[in-house]
């Protein structure tokens, strides 16, 4: 498998940063209206954006991955802390 080019990594890095900005907008809306009708669609969309974001990061070179992961760390930790994406042991 060939290494991703630096230009490709820069492009994916911009996509990651744009996605995180989009996620932050959704999170602010979700916090303002946590019991509203739009909450569930926002949550689904945010989950999908995170999925795409991690797919972009996965396609980067090792150094670019480390930088991208560091750039999303605060938003990701806040998201998993407040929106309980970890399975709580469903039975």
Q: Tokens 């999908």 — which residue?
A: 48
The 10s digit of each residue's pLDDT in 18-42 is: 999 999 988 888 788 777 787 888 8
Residue pair 26/42 in contact (Cβ under 8 Å)? The answer is yes
The 10s digit of each residue's pLDDT in 40-87 is: 888 899 999 999 999 999 999 999 999 999 999 999 998 988 776 654
For the chain, the structural domain boundaries read 6-73
Long-range contacts of 21-26 (CB under 8 A, 24+ apart): 22/49, 23/49, 23/50, 23/53, 23/75, 23/79, 24/75
């Amino acid at each position: 498998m060939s290494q991703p080019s630096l230009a490709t990594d820069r492009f994916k890095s911009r996509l990651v940063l744009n996605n995180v900005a989009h996620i932050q907008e959704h999170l602010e809306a979700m916090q303002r209206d946590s019991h509203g009708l739009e909450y569930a669609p926002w949550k689904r969309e945010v989950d999908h954006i995170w999925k795409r974001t991690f797919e972009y990061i996965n396609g980067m070179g090792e150094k670019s991955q480390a930088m991208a992961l560091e750039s999303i760390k605060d938003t990701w930790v806040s998201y998993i802390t407040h929106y309980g994406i970890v399975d709580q042991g469903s039975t």
